[in-house]
Amino acid sequence: MKLKNILIYVLVVCVAMLSLAGCAADGAAAEGTAATSSVYSIVMIVIIFAVMYFLMIRPENKRKKKAEEMRNSIEVGDKITTIGGMVGKVVHVTNDRITFETGEDRVRIETTKWAVSSNEGKGANKDSSDSEETLNS
């Protein structure tokens, strides 16, 4: 990830330097090329924004969408890890909350869906579904 960020910064600096060099050269040229200089500058700014969008913004949006899909697909019996590092088995799911058990002592913790960082097993540990029945009664 660090290498990718370094490459992005180098690319942006190179494009900016080329843009400034082109503007300086155009400024030294005849005044009739002023319109060409401004068009060139606008094109370079658009290119910089396009590069930033495709290398920085779009991948981040994809990661957010994937995480949201993972959180919405959590089912009873899945093994999850929260952003705080707690691990447990899901026993109850509502629209925006999840209740899960942590280990053999069967301590139940309720948290919001956005606090889940990973789902490590679709349908894992579904052999003991009595936890959901006792929660609903």
If one counts every other C-beta atom within 10 angstroms of the C-beta of residue 97, the result is 12
Q: 52 and 36 in one domain? A: yes
121 confidence band (pLDDT: 50, 70, 90): confident
Q: What is the largest CA-CA distance in the chain?
A: 85
What per-residue confidence (pLDDT) applies to 54? 87
Which of the pair, 16 or 69, is modelled with greater confidence?
A: 69
If one counts every other C-beta atom within 10 angstroms of the C-beta of residue 89, the result is 20
Cβ–Cβ < 8 Å for 54, 7 = no
Quote the domain boundaries for residue 99: 74-136
41 confidence band (pLDDT: 50, 70, 90): confident
Provide mean pLDDT across the span 20-24: 58
Q: 58 and 103 in one domain? A: no
Q: What is the CATH number of the domain that holds 119?
A: 2.30.30
Q: 30 and 89 in one domain? A: no
Helix H or strand E encompassing 107: strand 107-112
